[in-house]
Structures are given as structure tokens and as C-alpha cells.
Structure 1
Amino acid sequence: MLKDYKDIKVLYVEDDDVARENGVEYLENFFDKVFEASNAVKALQLYEQYKPQIIITDIQMPKINGLEFIKQIRQKDKKTQVIVITAFCNQEYLLKAIELQLVKYLIKPVNEKDFEEALMLCLNSLKEDSSNIIKFDEDSYFDIFNKTFVVKNEIIKLRAKEVLFLELLIKNKNRYVTYEEIESFVWFDSVMTKDALKTLVKNIKIKISKDIIDNLTNVGYKIAI
């Protein structure tokens, strides 16, 4: 439950005063330390001062947009969990967001269930995280930050959706990830079909040459690592 993580520090960045006030009020139900900023310049100052473990930010803001803000964070911090909440479903933004290792890209208006699920993904990742290198065995590993799969020191090329799928399963390795979660995280910019998902999983299994992805019918997928 979210209330089990009250000591986690959260930074909420939103230029709309009403939205920011509502967001902070909601987050304070679960976290003792919630910092707020109306623009990315102030957010960077707060980040340097408090080092929050979770950042929630809008994209369209004055001075510096949200993606540029996250990019500056990522240049020195690979572990802070980031959620983007925006009214814009822009293809260019979505592609840039993939490169910045977001936990979730949520489109306004965001319902409470989706928001809580995104927060739990962040918290689970923080709980599990000790390294960006996820070893599958002695000869192979997945580098979360560089988004590469390596076998015997050789980089195996993965497509964008394959990377997102592996990231999602690794972050939730102790449970089955539902089809709804997969569609939201991997097919955030389009509709997922069963055939497309099956093809994606098949291609990943071929590339990693390991039978570590398990499917539970009518539930979802789980990775065994």
C-alpha cells in the first residue's frame, strides 16, 4: 500500500496552480515530504536540495519544458522514478519520453486508479533497485539505463517496444503484469492487439535465447529472473 512508504520524498511539478494544489494535497495523503514547483527552474533547485526519489511533472511549462527538465536530471541521476502527466499526446513527446526512462506517461485527466498504479510502479522499482544491470545468467544481462541486452559481451539489438516490455516485466518481476498494464506502458500511443503482443514476445524470446517469459492465460506475463 502507498501509506507504507511515507518516508519517500516526492517532487510535483505543474504550472497550473489549481492542478498543482490538488496534486500535492492528494500526495500528502501518502507521503510526508512532498515538494512542489510551478516551473522546471524551481524544480531543479528543489531536486538539488532534497533529492526526491519520485518526480511527477507536466510537459508544457514556461522557461524549460518537462522533458528537458527530466533530461537534465537523467544526465546525473539514473534511479529517480519519473511520471509525466500531460494533456498532450504528442508523438514527438512520446518518443522522447521513451529515451528518458519514464515509469509512466499519463494523459490528463488522470483517474485515481491509474495514478496509484503509476506510483506503485515507482515504489516497487525503488524497493527492488540496487543496480541498472539485471543479470539473466553468467553470460547475459539487461542494462536498464542504456536499454541494451548483452550476451557474451555482444549487444543484441532490441526494438523500442521490446525494451519497454522487458523493463515493465523486470520492474514487476515478482508478479504477472496484466494485459492492461502492458498496453498502457508499451502501447501507450496506440491500441495493442493480441497478435501484436504474441509477436513481440516471440521475437524477444528468439533474441534472448532463454525461456524466462511466462504467460498466464487471461492474466498477463511474468519474467523469471
Structure 2
Amino acid sequence: MDINIVKLKKYASKCSVLYVEDDEIIRTQTASFLGRFFTDVVLAEDGVIGLAKYKERKFDVVITDINMPNMNGIEMIEAIKEILYTQIILVTSAHNDSEYLMKLINLDVSRFVLKPFNNKQFLYVLYKIAEELTFENERKELQEEVVSLSKNAQIIVDEIKIGIITIKDNEVNMANRAFLDIGGFDSYDTLKLEMPEIGVLFEEASHCVNATSNKDLIEQLEQLGDDEKKVRIIKDTKTYEYQVTSTKLEEENSYILTFSDITAIHNALYNDEHTKLPIRKFVLEKIELLKQGVSELGVIIVRAKNFENIAKWYGKAEATAVEVEFSTIVKAVKNEQLPNAFIGYFAENQIVIISDKYDMSETYKILKGIDISTETLFTKHDRTDLRFHLSTQAEFLKLDTSKELNALEVDLINAFDFMQ
């Protein structure tokens, strides 16, 4: 029973003791002995007083005799256990009665010292109790510090505008505010409930990551080059694109993924500078995606009749303004009639609307009736010398999806040429 007195004093200095003993001489002597190590010792001469003092404040350790007037030690222990069942209690008694022992064991009391005290044995029991309490307090403090650091880290991560998630054993176990906003989730719990496999969040698109499970997502990111580590999301009919980076953490099967918004770059590369509609490359990419699993695609092609004369008569700037106005009107009709259909800029004065599952007849009818006149642009350009009237040419096509993409491109080119 080796005891490190220095450690005992260090441990005991942070512990509070309630000592209950009816014998005044033993109480005084033991209190003096306890005072050599514990700086916070409260005395009580029977169970009633001891219980009253216990109710006034918390104690790390309760040391009590058994046989006492008014309320004996076992009765007091029963009352204390009702208040705090985990309370550490050390029983001191001159009796070694099995009946007492069974009652105490049933109360989950396992620390006993017989009187008269063997100081070394008593000291060893106190040392183990103080050590246990110190270690437990240190564990709690460390746990609170970790929780605090974790909360602070989450606050810091939430301030980062780049979407961040961590995946461990193929499950998302952290997501910052920016990523929750990307997916439209109000909280991490909602993400876990509604979309535990985050790959489902992203649209199928060529040159982008397409994965239905977190495992597949990680595997694809590890195999793809940086230029291909992209995902697309459609929110409120708008397309957003994000560059993804993946980093393997030291912890086994753990990864951190970041999502940087490159929508502006994507739009600059894929959208027409003036009409802001997806250019031909993106139109063909969309056709390639939509033709999977269907035998034909419905397409409306639209152009403004005699548009080429605008540039001749009024110059390129006015022709561009007319094209923007025309595309805005066509886009408004599409959004009203077919909000989920795709619209793109195939070439100058050539707009396509594509759908794989919607009736396009009403949209086609409305588009054929569009007119753009001089008055339409008066208020926008502060010009009164514009004199023209443009009508719309529109055709409804069925694209055979069994054809290769380059063949479908030729079909669209021919269809627009035939309109002229």
C-alpha cells in the first residue's frame, strides 16, 4: 500500500469532506487527521445534523459512523442516496456485522474502515478516493474543454463561406452552415434525416461527379482529375456549380470535402454573354443527359424572322439589344408554361427549348404569336428612329435519341437553316 503523500495532499486539497461521528473524542482526533490533507472538512455529530448539512451544499466525500443517536449512519446514507445515488461514502464502524454489510452493499457503499483506525489503512483509502475524484474531475474538465473547443471550431467553420463536410465510414458527420445552404437544409439533423447520401443532392451532368452513395462519391473524387471534381445543383430553376476538393484525414476512413462556388466561372464559360442563356456546348450536353432512357426528345426551336436586317439598318449594338429582348420574352413564356424545361442559346438568333416529358404544344402555340415592334424598345433605348416589326418563327421537333449526339446537332442546324 504505497502512498505518495505529496500527491495525496495535491488530490485532497481539491476535495470537500463531510465527516459524521457522534463520539466527540474520535470526531476531534479524526478531524485533525483529515485536516492535514483536506482543506475543506465539515463536521456533524449525528445523522440528522449530517443530512441537514449535506442538503445545504455538495460534498465530494461523506465519511460516517454507523451507530449514532437520532439518525444512524445507514438511515442517513439512504437519505443521501435518494438525493445523489452516486455520492462517494466511506463508512467507519467498530462493528463487523454481516447485517450492516449487506445493507451497505445494497446501498452501493463499498468503502469501509474499522475502528479503531489503522492510520496507514485509513490513509490509503482516503488516498484512493482523492485520486479517483481528481481523475474524474480532470476527465470532466477535459471533456468540457473538448466540447467547448468543438463548439468554437463549429462556429469558426460556420463562418467560412466555402461548403465543408466531413465523412467518416461513409457517413456525413459534420457539415458547416455554407454547405447546409448549398443543399437547402435548415440544420445538420435535417441533412442527416433527408439526405444521408449527399451524392443524391447533385444533378447528373457530364464532366461532373455523379454518385448515388457517399462511398461512390469518395471513390470518384480520388480517381478524377481536379478539373473533373465538380458538382451541379439546381435551385429555383437556377444552376449552380461547385468545385470539390477531397482530403483524406489521418483518422481511418475519414475525409474532408470542400465545395467552392464556381457558378460565375461556369456561367462565363457556358452562358452567352448577352442573353445569359446556355451556349451550344451546354445545350448539346443537356441533350446527351436527357436522351438517356427515352426514345425521343421534344424540342421547340425559335428565331426572330428577318433579324439579320436589324444589324444592317441600325448596327450591331441595336441588333444585340433586340436579341436580348427577344430571348427575354421567349424565356418568360418558357418559365410560365414549362418551368422545368431547358432553354438554351444555340447560335445567334437561335433559341431551343428541350423537354423529355412535358406537353409542349401550348408553349409552341404561344411562341409562334410573339411580336417585337418599335414600341417595345422605345422606353429601353431612348430611341425614336427605330422602325421595324419582327415576328417569330418556331418549329416543334422530335429528336430521335438513338442517334449520336453529333448527328442530333446536325439535325438542329438543318432545322434552323430550313426556317430561313
Name 2:103's counterpart in structure 1: 96
Name 2:326's counterpart in structure 1: none
Name 1:116's counterpart in structure 2: 123
Q: Is the 8 A contact 2:91 2:113 kept in 1?
A: yes
- Identity level (%): 34
The offset of 1:31, in angstroms, is 1.1
Separation in 2 of the partners of 1:103 and 1:126? 15
Task: Work out whether 1:14 is the aligned partner of 2:21.
Answer: yes
Separation in 1 of the partners of 2:110 and 2:9? 20
The offset of 1:47, in angstroms, is 0.8
Amino acid at match of 1:112: N
Separation in 1 of the partners of 2:32 and 2:133? 23
In the TM superposition, what whole-angstrom CA distance separates every residue of 1:95-144 from its partner, at most 9, and x where no partner exists? 1111222241111111111111111222233234479xxxxxxxxxxxxx
Name 2:94's counterpart in structure 1: 87
The offset of 1:18, in angstroms, is 0.2
Q: After TM superposition, list the pairs within 5 Å mapping 1:67-216 onto structure 2.
A: 67-129=74-136
Q: Is the 8 A contact 2:90 2:109 kept in 1?
A: yes
In the TM superposition, what whole-angstrom CA distance separates every residue of 1:52-90 from its partner, at most 9, and x where no partner exists? 110110000001110111111111213321111111111
What secondary structure does 2:116 align onto?
coil
In the TM superposition, what whole-angstrom CA distance separates every residue of 1:173-217 from its partner, at most 9, and x where no partner exists? xxxxxxxxxxxxxxxxxxxxxxxxxxxxxxxxxxxxxxxxxxxxx
Q: Is the 8 A contact 2:104 2:110 kept in 1?
A: no
Going from structure 1 to structure 2, the CA distance change for 1:78 and 1:120 (only over 3 Å counts) comes to: farther
Name 1:26's counterpart in structure 2: 33
Name 1:2's counterpart in structure 2: 8
Separation in 1 of the partners of 2:63 and 2:74? 11
Query: In terms of mean alpha carbon deviation, does 86-95 or 103-112 score higher?
Result: 103-112
Higher RCO, 1 vs 2 (CA within 8 Å, ≥6 residues apart)? 1
Q: Is the 8 A contact 2:8 2:131 kept in 1?
A: no
Give the aligned length. Answer: 131
The offset of 1:49, in angstroms, is 1.5
In the TM superposition, what whole-angstrom CA distance separates every residue of 1:11-66 from its partner, at most 9, and x where no partner exists? 11000000000011111111111000000111011111231110110000001110
Amino acid at match of 2:103: K
Separation in 2 of the partners of 1:124 and 1:81? 13
What secondary structure does 1:75 align onto?
helix
Amino acid at match of 2:79: Q
Name the structure where helix makes up a greater proportion of residues.
Answer: 2
Q: CA RMSD in A?
A: 1.7
Name 1:38's counterpart in structure 2: 45
Higher Rg of the two aligned structures:
2
Task: Work out whether 1:58 is the aligned partner of 2:58.
Answer: no
Separation in 2 of the partners of 1:37 and 1:70? 14
What secondary structure does 2:75 align onto?
helix
Q: Is the 8 A contact 1:103 1:118 kept in 2?
A: no
Q: Is the 8 A contact 1:81 1:103 kept in 2?
A: no
Q: Is the 8 A contact 2:92 2:113 kept in 1?
A: yes
Name 2:362's counterpart in structure 1: none
